[in-house]
Amino acid sequence: MNLQGKKVALFVAQMYDDREFWYPYYRMKEAGAEVTVIGPRAEAFSGKAGLTVKADLGIAEAKPEDYHALIIPGGYGPDHMRREPMMAEFVRRMHEAGRVVAAICHAGWMLASARIVQGKRITGFYSIKDDMVNAGAEWLDQEVVKDGNIITSRNPDDLPAFCRTIIETLA
């Protein structure tokens, strides 16, 4: 699949899941997309496994209209991301514009904080099931769930299906 000309925003924050960040990062680049890493601030963040990545942009400089898709990795990063109202607002605006919003593992928390899961079919790491259901989502235990422009997966084992679905949707 060729994603030439497509721009993908990839969120990052402290204690992100290294696999859930780097696997999509390189898969999107491999498919030809331009990937921009966006964090609460344009600084370096450490993953759970110790890998460090520097955000290209802080959320204050990022504009949802510049991107075709947003990918949010899990780990503990989403708990830090959702403390930044501008990050949740970015997610909401991407969704409202019909752009791809993809979340894996604990990243569903960002979808709930952006208030975009009401009536949507969603999956994620099993420990956030109650949060998603209480936010109005229909919970499914599947490797990847696509409902409109929202794509969700459960954990790192689901990364191949997660990335394949993102790429197919963007192409």
* CATH number assigned to the domain covering 7-170: 3.40.50.880
Active site residue 95: no
Mean pLDDT, all residues of the chain: 97
This prediction has a pTM of: 0.98
Residues 6+ apart with CB under 8 A from 8: 28, 33, 34, 35, 36, 67, 68, 69, 70, 71, 170
pLDDT tens sequence across 133-157: 999 999 999 999 999 999 999 999 9
Share of the chain above pLDDT 90, in %: 99
DSSP 90: H
pLDDT tens sequence across 35-93: 999 999 999 999 999 999 999 999 999 999 999 999 999 999 999 999 999 999 999 99
Of 68, 80, 95, 106, the active-site residue reads 106
91 touches 70 (CB < 8 A): yes
pLDDT at position 1 over 80 = no
Q: What is the pLDDT of residue 59?
A: 98
DSSP 50: S
